[in-house]
Amino acid sequence: AIDNYKTAMNLEPEYIAWSADGKYIYVNLQENSAIVTIDVEAKEAVAIDAYGLKDWSTIPIDIFKDDGCSKISTVPGLYSARNPDAIAAAVIDGVTYILTADEGDDKEYGSYEEKVKAKDLFAGEVIEGVVPGYDCDATEE
């Protein structure tokens, strides 16, 4: 737990988008991987919604850093926050869609830092079978 944590201290707005009718402002919270919907007339936030997680079992990715090769593969069970940077609102067939450029980001708050390296999580263990045909020593950078 983080001492003296307050949600208001943690919300970090990045970009905004207006609804086509001008009634709502959508505020992107990149580090929070969420979006705030503001009712312009009422001058209040009416919702804070999470963007949800990205499922890497369906989208290929190279999960090993600086290993001298590229092994692009899907990884069942691996999820990450979307953390979009820029956003836009578009209306298609009368439905408002929020378009995002998912960039990824990590959160730091005082001494707290949410990112970790696999080598720190698995301390000397070997990760086998994470990506078919690829074994990785988790202690390597």
The pLDDT value recorded for residue 128 is 54
The two tokens of residue 42 are: 């009422």
Q: Is 92 exposed, middle or buried (0-12, 13-18, 19+ CB in 10 A)?
A: exposed
**Residue 66 pLDDT greater than 90, yes or no:** no
Q: pLDDT band for position 62 (50/70/90)?
A: confident
* Cα separation values, 140 from 39, 72, 113, Å: 49, 19, 21
Block residue for tokens 């600086």: 66
The per-residue pLDDT of the chain, averaged, comes to: 80
Per residue in 3-39, pLDDT (tens digit) is 777 777 778 898 999 999 999 999 999 888 899 999 9
Give yes or no for a contact between 115 and 106, defined as CB atoms under 8 angstroms apart. Answer: yes
Is residue 36 a contact partner of residue 14, using CB atoms and an 8 Å limit? no
Supply angle C-alpha 39, 99, 70, rounded to 5: 145
* Residue that wins the pLDDT comparison between 56 and 92: 92
Q: How many CB atoms lie within 10 A of CB 63?
A: 17
Mean pLDDT in residue range 111-117: 72
